[in-house]
Amino acid sequence: MTVDAVRDKIDALIDQTEIYRLVVSGGEPMQQQSGIAELLSGWVAVEHVEIETSGVIPLTMRLGVSRTCQPVFNVSPKLAHARTKRPYSYDVLQQYVEVGGRFKFVVQETADLLEIEQIQSNIGLANGDIWIMPEGTTPDRIISSTTKLWDEVVSRGWNLTTRLHVLAFGNTRGV
């Protein structure tokens, strides 16, 4: 789709639903930074744009593309347990800290919190910008993981969130 076609679709949705927030997600949006910058440049249809990224691709997009619509980055680095082929680097994550990014970490067990502490220390990430999400594809697993992580996360001054969509709908796509 062209940038104009995307804008037209979003504008039509805004007219129908009065949305004010746009979340750019799916795959790795930062592979298309020039397209995102073009989409936001001079466009005032939405008040708030969030870009979800794994934080592995350096930030080259010029910020300040629109005075009315500055993107917020939601960075979700994959921890060692994810065994990703493209792991994070501290230098790239630091770029997202510098532009006010918020970080969400999917955690399997309390030992993962030590890796997050190491990341935090290396990139200067504030406690309030860290969100911990227990891994799980069933409500029982999420509740169990949340209970196990609660004290450790709260004692560090971090935020704890669940996977509300899984709690409400199970491990179902498209809801």
pLDDT digits (tens, 9 = 90+) for 60-86: 877 655 555 678 899 999 998 888 777
- Residue 128's pLDDT is 96
Check: CB of residue 22 under 8 Å from CB of residue 50: yes
| Residue 55 pLDDT greater than 90, yes or no | yes
Contacts of 146 (CB under 8 A, 6+ apart): 134, 160, 162
Q: How much is the pTM?
A: 0.86
Q: How far is CA 71 from CA 13, 68, 74, in A?
A: 19, 10, 10
3-class SS at 141? helix
pLDDT tens digits along 16-33: 887 778 888 888 999 988
